[in-house]
Structure 1
């Protein structure tokens, strides 16, 4: 191999490396660009080279409009009854070969199968759309931008969008609200305002920049309509608390603790058992209040035991916490009751 051949080989390897480091963009050549191709013709007359001739052709690259919207993640958004600012997350990608605006709408489904196989059964309220202002993929109240459209989204650009809603109170576990985010392309005109609606060029190719809709069919929209839609949903996980109040006689002034009877002066033990159904959300900050009737007197010496257990249907005097007694009312707080768990408030009183 000559020295010159070696240099050419090295240059070829370098060129391949540069090409590998700069892959082609999916959007392609920018809309409105011009492509010029010039041909040269050389000839001879009587063996003598003559003045050649050339010709050029210039074309304008048309605008291909293509957008996709996708749910971020693969599971439903779990929410609590009464929760505010519940978030579902989407990505909007401009696969067009031009900068475009995208109008955004968040609509609720009415019945039918939701995104994650549940059945739509309720509507969320106060639906808003935010753009991820700091690009961290997490909804940040007070930081992210409330929007109705994406402004000047670059070709091959992707924006993260949050649909933020409030959940009504008094919903059961398994209730589902389906939401659909649709992004519709608009002219990418001046920054800070929504561009005009896009119009697809009809008929044959023109000399100027034509517009071709190339988007696929989304969740609720058709192919080649300059829009795309995707679904996500909220699924409620609620606590299902039930309370049971039982009593047993401890002693009376005559029989003491042997077969005691409900006579004046007898001591009664009350147990309030709070249970949470299996498969439910953990309930927290549970306040129990029990006003006592006038014909019994609270036993302050025994006190109020909270967070006790139930074994074989019998309340245990093993509560680690303590309650309060004021205004003739027994009160106790249970920090939490998990799914399938039971905790108690236990106290005693005497019959007047």
Structure 2
């Protein structure tokens, strides 16, 4: 290999390496850039080389407006009735070849199929939008309350969290669908939302024209300088039911053999709390049972909580707990999971 060839080869390797290190931008050449192209013409007269002539053409790169709003995540946000600060989210990508602001609008559906299935049947409240300031992908206290996206670079993607409250009284499977729409706006400078971008009409001009390149993907309208996507909240509630039963334990005449409900008889009450299958786990399940005036609480037996039920009958397997005050039996059950039953048992005597 000659020295010249070796040098050329090395230069080629460097050129390839340099090309590979150059980042590729989907948005393309920056809007407003001037592309200059100069041609040189060499010629001879009578075999003598003459001064070359040249010609230059300048063109201004027009602005292509394109943006995409997409769901954050692939599943619905599971929420509880009465939950505050429930979070779902979206990503907003500036696929334009220019820095832009984006006006944001959050709207709620009124019926119809929700983003992840099911039918929209309620609205959330106290809705706020937050920018994922630290790019963590998770809503936290450091995120910024916003109404628009400010100075978004070409090819940049921002995450917007929707934070809202869920009304009480909702049942498992209820769905609230939300839509985030982003509309392209001029770069208004840091801290200021620019005017809505308008498309250049008519023939191409020598200046920087504007072309809307957004598509009709995901039911959007093509070429309107805006994009939307939908996400939703789905309620997972507890479905508690309570059954209160009583059985006679003994009486002063018959003891525990065929006892009757006579004064002085001991009666055992059982409160069984059940949670429906497929429901959310019920926590802090507090029971309060004022006693009838014709009965007297039997302190010697106490109160047993977190017992079980077999074939609809309470078992005597609870643990000591609860309290008795102001003629009222109270107790708190441990978490009652979906499909589970837990009991509170106590005894009284008939006055």
What TM-score, normalized to structure 2?
A: 0.98
- Following superposition, the deviation at residue 220 of structure 1 comes to 5.4
Structure 2 residue ranges without an equivalent (≥5):
none
In 2, distance between residues paired with 1:301 and 1:39? 107
Partner residue of 1:302?
301
- Following superposition, the deviation at residue 77 of structure 1 comes to 0.4
In 2, distance between residues paired with 1:70 and 1:151? 18
Does structure 2 retain, via aligned residues, the 8 Å contact 1:307–1:321? no
Aligned pairs (5 A) from 1:77-96: 77-96=77-96
Q: Secondary structure at the match of 1:187?
A: strand
In 2, distance between residues paired with 1:65 and 1:254? 92
Does structure 2 retain, via aligned residues, the 8 Å contact 1:219–1:231? no
In 2, distance between residues paired with 1:86 and 1:212? 38
Partner residue of 2:335?
336
Partner residue of 2:243?
244
- Following superposition, the deviation at residue 216 of structure 1 comes to 1.3
Residue-by-residue CA offset, 1:170-219 (whole Å, 9 max, x unaligned): 00100000000111000012211110111101111100000000011254
Q: Which runs of 4+ in 1 moved over 4 A?
A: none
What TM-score, normalized to structure 1?
A: 0.98
Does structure 1 retain, via aligned residues, the 8 Å contact 2:212–2:223? yes
Aligned pairs (5 A) from 1:203-218: 203-217=202-216
Does structure 2 retain, via aligned residues, the 8 Å contact 1:272–1:344? yes
Residue-by-residue CA offset, 1:260-313 (whole Å, 9 max, x unaligned): 011111100000000000000000001101100111110000000000000121
- 2:108 aligned with 1:108, yes or no? yes
Partner residue of 1:167?
166
In 2, distance between residues paired with 1:226 and 1:190? 20
Task: Decide which moves more: 307-316 or 167-176.
Answer: 307-316
Q: Secondary structure at the match of 2:211?
A: strand
In 2, distance between residues paired with 1:30 and 1:190? 17
Q: Secondary structure at the match of 1:336?
A: coil
Partner residue of 1:126?
126
Aligned-residue CA RMSD (Å): 1.0
In 1, distance between residues paired with 2:52 and 2:336? 92
Partner residue of 1:235?
234
Task: Decide which moves more: 220-229 or 41-50.
Answer: 220-229
Q: Secondary structure at the match of 1:87?
A: strand
Partner residue of 1:268?
267
Q: Secondary structure at the match of 2:18?
A: helix
In 1, distance between residues paired with 2:36 and 2:184? 29
- 2:99 aligned with 1:99, yes or no? yes
- Following superposition, the deviation at residue 113 of structure 1 comes to 0.6
- Following superposition, the deviation at residue 258 of structure 1 comes to 0.5
Partner residue of 1:63?
63
Aligned pairs (5 A) from 1:320-335: 320-335=319-334
- 2:49 aligned with 1:45, yes or no? no
Count of aligned pairs between the two proteins: 351
In 1, distance between residues paired with 2:113 and 2:350? 58
Does structure 1 retain, via aligned residues, the 8 Å contact 2:25–2:155? yes
In 1, distance between residues paired with 2:57 and 2:302? 97
In 1, distance between residues paired with 2:124 and 2:204? 47
- Following superposition, the deviation at residue 14 of structure 1 comes to 2.2
Partner residue of 2:312?
313
- Following superposition, the deviation at residue 72 of structure 1 comes to 1.4
Task: Decide which moves more: 69-78 or 15-24.
Answer: 15-24
Does structure 1 retain, via aligned residues, the 8 Å contact 2:302–2:320? no
Does structure 2 retain, via aligned residues, the 8 Å contact 1:186–1:198? yes
Does structure 2 retain, via aligned residues, the 8 Å contact 1:178–1:233? yes
Does structure 2 retain, via aligned residues, the 8 Å contact 1:308–1:344? yes
Partner residue of 1:350?
349
